[in-house]
A = this chain, B = another copy of it.
Amino acid sequence: MNGAETVLRTLLNNGVDVCFANPGTSEMQFVAALDDHRAMRGVLCLFEGVATGAADGYARMSGRPAATLLHLGPGLANGLANLHNARRAHAPVVNIVGDHAHSHKRLDSPLESDIDAVAATVSSWVRRPTTSSDIGRDTAEAVAAALSAGAAGAPDRSHTGTSGAISTLIMAADLSWEEGTPPAPHLPPAPLRSVPRADLDAIAAVIAGPEPVALLIDGAGLSEPGLQAATRIQKATGAAVFCPTWPARIRRGAGIPAIEPLGYRAEAVGQQLAGTKNLVLVGAREPVASFAYPGRPGLLTPPGTNVHHFVPDSGFDVVEALTDLADIVAPGSLATLPVTDPLPDIVDEPLRTENWAQIIGALLPHEAIIVDESITEGMNTLVPATANSAPHDALGLTGLAIGQGIPVAVGAAIACPERPVVCLQADGSALYTISGLWTQARENLNVTTVLLNNRSYAVLRAELDRVGGNQAGPAANALFDLSRPDIDFTAVATGMGVTATRATSTTELAEQFSTALAAPGPHLIEAVLQPV
- Which residues of A pack against B, CB within 8 Å? 21, 23-26, 28-29, 31-36, 38, 42, 44, 46-47, 49, 73-75, 77-78, 80-81, 84, 88, 100-101, 103-104, 107-111, 113-114, 117-118, 120-122, 173-174, 177, 285, 288-292, 294, 298-299, 398-401, 403, 428, 431-432, 434-435, 438, 441-442, 460, 463-464, 466-470, 472-476, 478-479, 481-482, 484-497
A490 / chain B contacts, CB cutoff of 8 Å? 495
User: Which B residues are CB-close (under 8 A) to A494?
Assistant: 488, 491, 495
A295 to chain B, nearest CB (A): 10
Chain B residues near A399: list those with CB within 8 A.
74, 110-111
**Alpha-carbon distance between A441 and B474 when the two chains are bound, in angstroms:** 18
A485 lies within 8 A of B467 (CB): no
14 contacts between A and B (CB under 8 A): A25-B466, A31-B476, A35-B472, A46-B428, A77-B84, A80-B118, A104-B291, A109-B290, A111-B400, A113-B122, A173-B291, A177-B469, A487-B495, A488-B494
A378 to B5, CA, bound (A): 34
With a cutoff of 8 Å between Cβ atoms, the chain B residues found around residue A107 in the complex are 288-289, 298-299
- Neighbour of A292 across the interface among B103, B120, B468, CB < 8 A: B103
Which residues in B have their C-beta under 8 angstroms from that of A88?
110
Of all chain B residues, which has the CB nearest A72?
Answer: B401
For the complex, give the distance between the alpha carbons of A157 and B124 in Å. Answer: 46
By a CB distance below 8 angstroms, the chain B residues around A36 are: 470, 473
For the complex, give the distance between the alpha carbons of A482 and B47 in Å. Answer: 12
| Chain B residues positioned under 8 Å from A485 (CB to CB) | 438, 441-442, 496-497
Is B35 a contact partner of A463 (Cβ separation < 8 A)? Answer: no
**A487/B476 contact (C-beta < 8 A), A26-B291, A80-B77, A118-B118 known:** no
Assembly CA distance A464 to B494 (angstroms):
31
Q: Pick the residue among B435, B441, B486 that contacts A431 (CB under 8 A).
A: B435
With a cutoff of 8 Å between Cβ atoms, the chain B residues found around residue A491 in the complex are 491-492, 494-495
Contact, CB under 8 Å: A77 / B81: yes
Given A28-B460, A84-B113, A401-B74, A100-B292 contact (CB < 8 Å): yes
A491 and B437 CA atoms in complex are apart in Å by 14
Q: Is the CB of A495 within 8 A of B488?
A: yes
Pick the most buried of A38, A285, A401: most chain B CB atoms within 10 A of its CB. Answer: A401
Which residues of chain B are within 8 angstroms of A122 by Cβ–Cβ distance?
Answer: 113
- Would B81 and A74 count as touching, CB distance under 8 A? yes
Q: Are B431 and A28 in contact, CB atoms less than 8 angstroms apart? A: no
Check B25 against A479 for contact (C-beta < 8 Å).
no
Given contacts A25-B466, A488-B495, list 10 more A-B pairs with CB under 8 A: A29-B469, A31-B472, A35-B470, A35-B476, A38-B475, A73-B121, A74-B80, A78-B81, A88-B110, A494-B495
Taking a contact as CB atoms under 8 Å apart, the answer to whether A470 and B101 are in contact is no
Question: What residue in chain B is nearest A98 (Cβ atoms)?
Answer: B291
Q: Is the CB of B111 within 8 A of A401?
A: yes
Given A31-B469, A294-B177, A442-B484, is A47 in contact with B496 using a C-beta cutoff of 8 Å?
no
A-B pairs, 3 with minimum CB distance: A35-B473, A485-B497, A491-B495
A497 CA to B121 CA in the complex, in Å? 36
Whether the Cβ atoms of B28 and A464 lie closer than 8 Å is yes
Contacts of A46 in B (CB 8 A): 428, 431-432, 482
Q: Which residue of B has the minimal Cβ distance to A21?
A: B479
A77: chain B residues within 8 A (beta carbon): 77-78, 80-81, 84, 118, 121
Cross-chain contact A291 with B109 (CB below 8 angstroms)? yes
* Interface pair A47/B497, CB less than 8 Å apart: no
Q: Of all chain B residues, which has the CB nearest A41?
A: B475
Instruction: Determine the distance from Cα of A17 to Cα of B114 in the docked complex, in whole angstroms.
Output: 31
Residues of B within 8 A of A117 (CB): 117-118, 120-121
Task: Report Cα–Cα, A75/B84, bound state, in Å.
Answer: 11
Nearest B-chain residue to A496, judged by Cβ? B487
Chain B residue contacts of A47, Cβ below 8 A: 403, 431-432
A496 — which chain B residues lie within 8 A by C-beta? 485, 487, 492
Docked CA distance A187–B62 (Å): 56
Distance between A442 CB and nearest chain B CB, rounded to angstroms: 6
Which residues of chain B have C-beta atoms less than 8 A from A481's C-beta? 44
Say whether, besides A399-B110, A495-B487, A495-B492, A476 and B294 are in contact (CB < 8 Å). no
Minimum C-beta distance from A197 to chain B (A)? 30
Which residues of B lie under 8 Å from residue A428 when comparing CB positions?
A: 46
Do the beta carbons of B497 and A487 come within 8 Å of each other?
Answer: yes
Complex contact B121–A31 (CB within 8 A): no
Please give, as numbers and ranges, the residues of chain B lying within 8 Å of A81 by CB-CB distance: 74-75, 77-78
Shortest CB–CB separation between residue A14 and chain B, in angstroms?
Answer: 20
Report which of B33, B84, B492 forms a contact with A492, defined as CB distance below 8 A. B492
Known: A35-B472, A467-B177. A73 touches B84 (CB 8 A): yes
**Among B25, B120, B479, which residue has its beta carbon within 8 angstroms of that of A291?**
B25
Cα A24 to Cα B464 in complex, Å, equals 9
